[in-house]
Structure 1
Amino acid sequence: MKLTLKEMNDLLNGKCLPSDLIVGETLAEYLVRKFSDLEQKLAVSQREFRAADATIENLEAKCAALAAELSAFERICNEAVFITDEHYEQCPPEVRKMIRSLVVLKIPSYQAFMAEVRARELDSLAGVAETMLVKFSNQRCSSDMHEVVGWKMVHQQASNRAAQLRKGVQS
């Protein structure tokens, strides 16, 4: 039930009654019942939110673990690329085929995940810079002050680099 301000005033002044008022129920009892219902709905929503938050944390942990595993795999792939021609020629054909596959292997979802992790860290740095700029502004510091100029540069560079990382993944 959604009430306008006028309807609420009329209700409180006794000029109208809500349609879901139970027979014999006073206005105070009605309001207590409605607030109790809302409180229960809020409690349910909070439980669902906590459950969703826990699920997100679990998924983020799994992503981080997967990224760590893929990072190790990527290192191995990068090392395989540096096998010298002499050693490459001595390898059996099956191994050479695997090495060729490793050289061109791309893992886009891993690369996108790592780019997002790096971009988030830069976003955090930009947030710190923004906080510092707000503090300087609240103190009415000159915008030409070295510290202010420095924090502006940090904010701009971190924001730009985060955007570049995200854009690089999309390309």
Structure 2
Amino acid sequence: MKLYEMEGFLRGKCIPGDLKVNETNAEYLVRKFSEADDRCAALSAKLNMINDLMEAAEQANKLAQEATEKLVQERNALAAENETLNKFIAASCFVQAGEELAWYPAIDHAPETQATDAFLAEVRAQGV
């Protein structure tokens, strides 16, 4: 019901379309306010449920961020360890390659580590 409709109803100049047969103005208003109160309670319950879901989502997001930070720290530690091992291999390890009796630096025969190289390049670029 709009404001002008309510004013007309209260002044007795118009009758609402949903007025029941033999319903007084007071009964009509009580019914309408009761319906509005019920709608308000239902919306309040929905709002509480939404707030609870938002809180749960925020907690899940916080846990995911913490897990991500932990994984990043572990990745950084593994990359640093891998770099240290590569430096050790380059400086201290030798292999005998082929049928010759000569010894060669082991790092020359080590597998490529593109992921480590890319990560270290990224770290070095951030440090510059």
Normalising by structure 2, report the TM-score: 0.66
| Residue of structure 2 in register with 1:111 after alignment | none
Aligned pairs (5 A) from 1:1-171 = 2-4=1-3, 6-82=4-80, 83-84=83-84, 85-87=86-88, 93=111, 96-100=113-117, 102-103=119-120
Long gaps (5+) in structure 1: 106-171
Q: Deviations over 1:45-82 (max 9, x none)?
A: 01111111111111111110011010011112223443
Do the aligned partners of 1:21 and 1:30 also contact (CA within 8 Å) in 2? yes
Q: Deviations over 1:64-122 (max 9, x none)?
A: 0011010011112223443235147579638x3453465579xxxxxxxxxxxxxxxxx
Count of aligned pairs between the two proteins: 102
What CA distance in whole angstroms lies between the structure 1 residues aligned with 2:6 and 2:76?
69
C-alpha change, 1:86 and 1:66, in structure 2 (3 Å) is: same
Do the aligned partners of 1:81 and 1:103 also contact (CA within 8 Å) in 2? yes
Tell me which structure has the larger Cα radius of gyration: 2
**Residue 99 of structure 1 aligns to which amino acid in structure 2?**
T
C-alpha change, 1:88 and 1:32, in structure 2 (3 Å) is: farther
Same amino acid, percent of matched pairs? 27
What CA distance in whole angstroms lies between the structure 2 residues aligned with 1:30 and 1:36?
10
**Runs (4+) of structure 1 moved beyond 6 Å?**
none
Supply the RMSD in Å over aligned alpha carbons. Answer: 2.6
Long gaps (5+) in structure 2: 91-105, 123-128
C-alpha change, 1:53 and 1:25, in structure 2 (3 Å) is: same
The structure whose residues are more often helix, as a share, is 1
* Structure of higher RCO (CA pairs closer than 8 Å, 6+ residues apart): 1
Shift of 1:3: 1.1
What CA distance in whole angstroms lies between the structure 2 residues aligned with 1:70 and 1:100?
21
| Residue of structure 2 in register with 1:132 after alignment | none
Normalising by structure 1, report the TM-score: 0.51
Tell me the secondary structure at the aligned position of residue 66 of structure 2. Answer: helix
C-alpha change, 1:3 and 1:100, in structure 2 (3 Å) is: same
